[in-house]
Amino acid sequence: MKGFKAAIFDADGTIIDSMYVWEKVDNDFLTEHGIPVTQEYSDAVKGMFFKTAAEYTKSRYSLKESVEEIMQTWLDMARHEYEHNVRAKPCVKEYLEYLRKNNVRIGLATSSDPYLLEPVLKNNGLHEYFDTVCYTSEVGKNKSFPDVYIKTAERLSVEPEECIVFEDIPEGITGANKAGMYTVAVYDRASAKNSDYLRKKAKKYIFGFEEMLEES
């Protein structure tokens, strides 16, 4: 950590083991409606925006619920999972504690929804470690752009080049690289297929935060 004044973390798939949640929500929602879960549907909605996926689901299966009702149902199902079952990845809390003891500023840059994120951070005892939380919805651009990382650095009162960023997806590594930050790709089952890209584009690749503690 020498030379870095701030550490910026992604949430889903990086510090919390949550990437299974939306697949579970899709499966549970369709099952409750008596609809078979197909790989075709899963592949179709995977890359869609939230509202677009709800519109597609309503149209495809002629559901009586409104798009807004479908979206709220999905959010409530996801929140239940985040609130009760999603856990922090191993050694995350210990690493955050190490950063705090060494006076490193800590930020969270996420595409998640506060409705989902806040309970899981509190339940896992992580909320208190973050000096700021910045959402992509605040900057109006996704993580392939540098905006959310730059905004987080501004809130931490540090320069971009003084930051180390931990991300699990290609878009996150791309955006943080564009911001001029030191990037660390974190292994997650959901992004394992992108490991070659992540190893190539990130400055460092780790399988878990115990590696960061061992190097401290």
CATH class of 6-18+87-215: alpha beta
* pTM reported for the whole predicted model: 0.90
Question: pLDDT (tens digit, 9 = 90+) per residue, 158-187?
Answer: 999 999 999 999 999 999 999 999 999 999
Q: What is the pLDDT of residues 100-118, one digit of tens each?
A: 999 999 999 999 889 999 9
Question: In this structure, are strands 105-110 and 6-9 parallel, antiparallel, or unpaired?
Answer: parallel
